[in-house]
A and B are shown apart, each in its own frame.
Chain A
Amino acid sequence: QQQVKQSPQSLIVQKGGISIINCAYENTAFDYFPWYQQFPGKGPALLIAIRPDVSEKKEGRFTISFNKSAKQFSLHIMDSQPGDSATYFCAADGGATNKLIFGTGTLLAVQP
Protein backbone atom coordinates (compact mmCIF):
# COMPACT_ATOMS: atom_id res chain seq x y z
CA GLN A 1 0.00 0.00 0.00
CA GLN A 2 3.02 2.24 0.38
CA GLN A 3 4.18 1.70 -3.17
CA VAL A 4 4.11 4.15 -6.02
CA LYS A 5 4.15 2.44 -9.40
CA GLN A 6 5.74 4.36 -12.26
CA SER A 7 5.78 3.69 -16.01
CA PRO A 8 7.37 3.51 -18.47
CA GLN A 9 10.84 2.57 -17.29
CA SER A 10 12.35 4.39 -20.25
CA LEU A 11 11.06 6.73 -22.91
CA ILE A 12 12.43 8.10 -26.17
CA VAL A 13 10.79 11.20 -27.59
CA GLN A 14 11.63 13.37 -30.56
CA LYS A 15 12.43 17.01 -30.00
CA GLY A 16 9.22 19.01 -29.90
CA GLY A 17 7.12 16.02 -28.92
CA ILE A 18 5.15 15.35 -25.74
CA SER A 19 6.65 13.17 -23.02
CA ILE A 20 4.17 11.43 -20.74
CA ILE A 21 5.08 9.55 -17.56
CA ASN A 22 2.46 7.85 -15.42
CA CYS A 23 2.25 6.95 -11.75
CA ALA A 24 -0.28 5.13 -9.60
CA TYR A 25 -0.66 4.82 -5.86
CA GLU A 26 -2.77 2.88 -3.37
CA ASN A 27 -2.60 4.77 -0.10
CA THR A 28 -5.42 7.32 0.04
CA ALA A 29 -3.66 9.09 2.91
CA PHE A 30 -1.11 10.51 0.47
CA ASP A 31 -1.73 14.22 0.10
CA TYR A 32 1.23 15.56 -1.82
CA PHE A 33 2.53 14.35 -5.17
CA PRO A 34 5.81 15.80 -6.44
CA TRP A 35 7.87 15.06 -9.50
CA TYR A 36 11.66 15.14 -9.41
CA GLN A 37 14.17 15.51 -12.21
CA GLN A 38 17.60 13.96 -11.86
CA PHE A 39 20.60 14.45 -14.13
CA PRO A 40 23.46 11.91 -14.06
CA GLY A 41 25.65 12.23 -10.97
CA LYS A 42 23.36 14.78 -9.34
CA GLY A 43 20.74 14.66 -6.64
CA PRO A 44 17.07 14.85 -7.67
CA ALA A 45 15.58 18.32 -7.93
CA LEU A 46 11.95 19.18 -7.32
CA LEU A 47 10.28 19.92 -10.65
CA ILE A 48 6.59 20.37 -9.93
CA ALA A 49 4.11 19.15 -7.35
CA ILE A 50 0.36 18.85 -6.86
CA ARG A 51 -2.11 18.26 -4.06
CA PRO A 52 -5.25 16.13 -4.52
CA ASP A 53 -7.64 19.07 -4.33
CA VAL A 54 -6.81 20.07 -7.91
CA SER A 55 -6.85 18.01 -11.10
CA GLU A 56 -4.11 19.79 -12.98
CA LYS A 57 -1.12 22.01 -12.37
CA LYS A 58 0.96 23.64 -15.05
CA GLU A 59 4.36 25.29 -14.80
CA GLY A 60 5.82 26.28 -18.11
CA ARG A 61 6.14 23.20 -20.31
CA PHE A 62 5.50 20.83 -17.39
CA THR A 63 1.98 19.74 -16.40
CA ILE A 64 0.77 17.34 -13.74
CA SER A 65 -2.60 15.70 -14.32
CA PHE A 66 -4.18 14.17 -11.24
CA ASN A 67 -7.06 11.68 -11.11
CA LYS A 68 -8.04 11.20 -7.48
CA SER A 69 -10.73 8.56 -8.10
CA ALA A 70 -8.32 6.42 -10.15
CA LYS A 71 -5.41 7.16 -7.80
CA GLN A 72 -3.23 8.07 -10.74
CA PHE A 73 -1.17 11.07 -11.71
CA SER A 74 1.00 11.86 -14.67
CA LEU A 75 3.67 14.27 -15.87
CA HIS A 76 3.39 15.81 -19.31
CA ILE A 77 6.37 17.58 -20.84
CA MET A 78 5.26 19.67 -23.80
CA ASP A 79 7.66 20.63 -26.60
CA SER A 80 10.29 18.25 -25.20
CA GLN A 81 13.87 19.40 -25.59
CA PRO A 82 17.20 17.52 -25.51
CA GLY A 83 17.97 19.35 -22.26
CA ASP A 84 14.98 17.58 -20.70
CA SER A 85 16.82 14.26 -21.04
CA ALA A 86 17.06 13.00 -17.47
CA THR A 87 15.53 10.53 -15.05
CA TYR A 88 12.15 11.52 -13.69
CA PHE A 89 10.72 10.28 -10.42
CA CYS A 90 7.20 10.61 -9.16
CA ALA A 91 6.63 10.48 -5.43
CA ALA A 92 3.89 10.57 -2.86
CA ASP A 93 3.84 11.87 0.68
CA GLY A 94 1.53 11.78 3.60
CA GLY A 95 1.72 11.30 7.33
CA ALA A 96 3.46 12.83 10.28
CA THR A 97 6.98 11.85 9.31
CA ASN A 98 6.63 13.16 5.76
CA LYS A 99 8.30 10.18 4.19
CA LEU A 100 8.40 10.55 0.45
CA ILE A 101 7.76 7.28 -1.33
CA PHE A 102 9.35 7.32 -4.77
CA GLY A 103 8.45 5.58 -7.98
CA THR A 104 11.11 3.54 -9.73
CA GLY A 105 12.01 6.29 -12.19
CA THR A 106 11.73 6.91 -15.92
CA LEU A 107 14.78 7.53 -18.05
CA LEU A 108 13.77 10.08 -20.69
CA ALA A 109 15.84 10.64 -23.82
CA VAL A 110 14.82 13.46 -26.12
CA GLN A 111 16.36 13.04 -29.54
CA PRO A 112 17.32 16.17 -31.53
Chain B
Amino acid sequence: SQTIHQWPATLVQPVGSPLSLECTVEGTSNPNLYWYRQAAGRGLQLLFYSIGIDQISSEVPQNLSASRPQDRQFILSSKKLLLSDSGFYLCASPGQSNYGYTFGSGTRLTVV
Protein backbone atom coordinates (compact mmCIF):
# COMPACT_ATOMS: atom_id res chain seq x y z
CA SER B 1 0.00 0.00 0.00
CA GLN B 2 1.11 3.53 -0.61
CA THR B 3 2.08 6.18 1.92
CA ILE B 4 2.06 9.91 1.31
CA HIS B 5 4.45 12.13 3.23
CA GLN B 6 3.96 15.86 3.57
CA TRP B 7 6.04 18.46 5.33
CA PRO B 8 6.10 20.65 7.16
CA ALA B 9 3.01 19.97 9.25
CA THR B 10 2.51 23.62 10.13
CA LEU B 11 3.94 26.79 8.71
CA VAL B 12 3.55 30.48 9.52
CA GLN B 13 4.81 32.79 6.80
CA PRO B 14 4.67 36.55 6.30
CA VAL B 15 2.88 38.08 3.35
CA GLY B 16 5.19 38.36 0.37
CA SER B 17 7.48 35.51 1.40
CA PRO B 18 8.07 32.45 -0.79
CA LEU B 19 6.59 29.01 -0.19
CA SER B 20 7.63 25.46 -0.87
CA LEU B 21 5.59 22.50 0.30
CA GLU B 22 6.77 19.01 -0.50
CA CYS B 23 4.90 15.77 -0.99
CA THR B 24 6.50 12.39 -1.56
CA VAL B 25 4.83 9.08 -2.24
CA GLU B 26 6.01 5.62 -1.27
CA GLY B 27 4.75 2.23 -2.32
CA THR B 28 3.68 3.03 -5.86
CA SER B 29 5.17 4.06 -9.17
CA ASN B 30 4.04 6.69 -11.65
CA PRO B 31 1.03 7.71 -9.58
CA ASN B 32 -1.36 10.51 -10.38
CA LEU B 33 -0.73 13.23 -7.80
CA TYR B 34 -3.00 16.02 -6.59
CA TRP B 35 -2.75 19.16 -4.48
CA TYR B 36 -5.91 20.22 -2.67
CA ARG B 37 -6.52 23.22 -0.44
CA GLN B 38 -9.04 23.33 2.34
CA ALA B 39 -9.96 26.72 3.77
CA ALA B 40 -11.16 26.82 7.37
CA GLY B 41 -14.53 25.09 7.63
CA ARG B 42 -14.73 24.63 3.90
CA GLY B 43 -14.52 21.86 1.34
CA LEU B 44 -11.61 20.56 -0.67
CA GLN B 45 -10.56 22.59 -3.68
CA LEU B 46 -8.42 20.90 -6.32
CA LEU B 47 -5.45 23.13 -7.15
CA PHE B 48 -3.16 21.01 -9.35
CA TYR B 49 -2.90 17.50 -10.64
CA SER B 50 -0.11 15.63 -12.34
CA ILE B 51 -0.17 12.45 -14.38
CA GLY B 52 3.61 12.24 -14.73
CA ILE B 53 6.97 13.96 -14.39
CA ASP B 54 6.77 17.59 -15.53
CA GLN B 55 3.11 17.10 -16.47
CA ILE B 56 1.11 19.54 -14.37
CA SER B 57 -2.39 20.84 -14.86
CA SER B 58 -3.78 23.80 -12.97
CA GLU B 59 -7.41 23.79 -11.97
CA VAL B 60 -7.76 27.28 -10.56
CA PRO B 61 -5.88 30.45 -11.55
CA GLN B 62 -4.00 31.60 -8.49
CA ASN B 63 -0.82 32.70 -6.84
CA LEU B 64 0.56 29.17 -6.62
CA SER B 65 2.46 26.82 -8.89
CA ALA B 66 3.32 23.14 -8.80
CA SER B 67 6.18 21.04 -10.06
CA ARG B 68 6.94 17.34 -10.27
CA PRO B 69 10.70 16.92 -10.66
CA GLN B 70 10.60 13.19 -9.85
CA ASP B 71 8.05 10.43 -10.24
CA ARG B 72 7.11 10.38 -6.56
CA GLN B 73 7.70 14.02 -5.66
CA PHE B 74 5.18 16.82 -5.98
CA ILE B 75 6.00 20.36 -4.90
CA LEU B 76 3.68 23.30 -4.31
CA SER B 77 5.28 26.73 -4.51
CA SER B 78 4.66 30.42 -4.44
CA LYS B 79 7.00 33.34 -5.10
CA LYS B 80 5.03 35.78 -2.93
CA LEU B 81 2.39 34.61 -0.49
CA LEU B 82 -0.91 36.40 -0.05
CA LEU B 83 -3.14 36.38 3.03
CA SER B 84 -5.68 34.43 0.99
CA ASP B 85 -3.19 31.59 0.55
CA SER B 86 -3.76 30.53 4.16
CA GLY B 87 -5.32 27.10 4.46
CA PHE B 88 -4.78 23.40 4.91
CA TYR B 89 -2.88 21.93 1.97
CA LEU B 90 -3.29 18.28 1.18
CA CYS B 91 -1.45 16.03 -1.23
CA ALA B 92 -3.30 12.99 -2.53
CA SER B 93 -2.87 10.05 -4.84
CA PRO B 94 -5.02 7.15 -5.98
CA GLY B 95 -2.00 4.87 -6.19
CA GLN B 96 -2.01 1.88 -8.46
CA SER B 97 -5.73 1.30 -8.11
CA ASN B 98 -6.53 4.65 -9.76
CA TYR B 99 -9.42 4.98 -7.35
CA GLY B 100 -9.76 5.69 -3.66
CA TYR B 101 -7.37 8.52 -2.94
CA THR B 102 -4.92 8.35 -0.09
CA PHE B 103 -4.24 11.73 1.48
CA GLY B 104 -1.17 12.98 3.23
CA SER B 105 -1.42 14.41 6.73
CA GLY B 106 -1.50 17.95 5.36
CA THR B 107 0.29 21.25 5.93
CA ARG B 108 -1.46 24.00 7.87
CA LEU B 109 -0.27 27.28 6.31
CA THR B 110 -0.98 30.59 8.00
CA VAL B 111 0.04 33.72 6.15
CA VAL B 112 0.39 36.71 8.46
In Å, the complex CA distance between A102 and B92 comes to: 13
Interface bits A73-112 vs B (CB < 8 Å: 1, else 0): 0000000000000000100010001111111110100000
Stretch among B12-20, B42-50, B69-77, B79-87 lining the A interface: B42-50
Which residues in chain B, 59-108, are within 8 Å of chain A measured between CB atoms?
59, 90, 92, 94, 98-106, 108
In Å, the complex CA distance between A103 and B44 comes to: 8
Known: A42-B105, A43-B104, A46-B100. A97 touches B49 (CB 8 A): yes
Count of interface residues, chain A, beta-carbon cutoff 8 Å: 22
Q: Is the CB of B99 within 8 A of A43?
A: no
Q: Chain A contacts of B57 at CB under 8 A? A: 97
Which listed residue, B41, B43, B102, touches A89 by the CB 8 Å rule?
A: B43
In Å, the complex CA distance between A32 and B42 comes to: 23
| Chain B residue nearest in CB terms to A43 | B103
Q: Is the CB of A102 within 8 A of B104?
A: no
Q: For residue A12, give the distance in angstroms from its CB to the closest CB of chain B.
A: 16
Which listed residue, B41, B46, B103, B108, touches A99 by the CB 8 Å rule?
A: B46
In Å, the complex CA distance between A6 and B101 comes to: 19
Q: Chain B contacts of A60 at CB under 8 A? A: none
Q: How large is the interface on B (under 10, 10 to 19, 20 to 34, 35 or more residues)?
A: 20 to 34
Q: Is the CB of B103 within 8 A of A98?
A: no
Q: Is the CB of A98 within 8 A of B99?
A: yes
In Å, the complex CA distance between A46 and B41 comes to: 19
A44 within 8 A of B: yes
Q: For residue A96, give the distance in angstroms from its CB to the closest CB of chain B.
A: 8
Interface bits B1-43 vs A (CB < 8 Å: 1, else 0): 0000000000000000000000000000000101010000111
Q: Is the CB of B100 within 8 A of A105?
A: no
Q: Is the CB of A100 within 8 A of B101?
A: yes
Q: What is the interface of chain B, defined by CB distance below 8 A to chain A?
A: 32, 34, 36, 41-44, 46, 49, 51, 57, 59, 90, 92, 94, 98-106, 108
Q: What is the interface of chain A, defined by CB distance below 8 A to chain B?
A: 6, 32, 34, 41-46, 49, 89, 93, 97-105, 107
Q: Which 3 A-B pairs have the closest CB atoms?
A: A43-B103, A104-B43, A102-B44
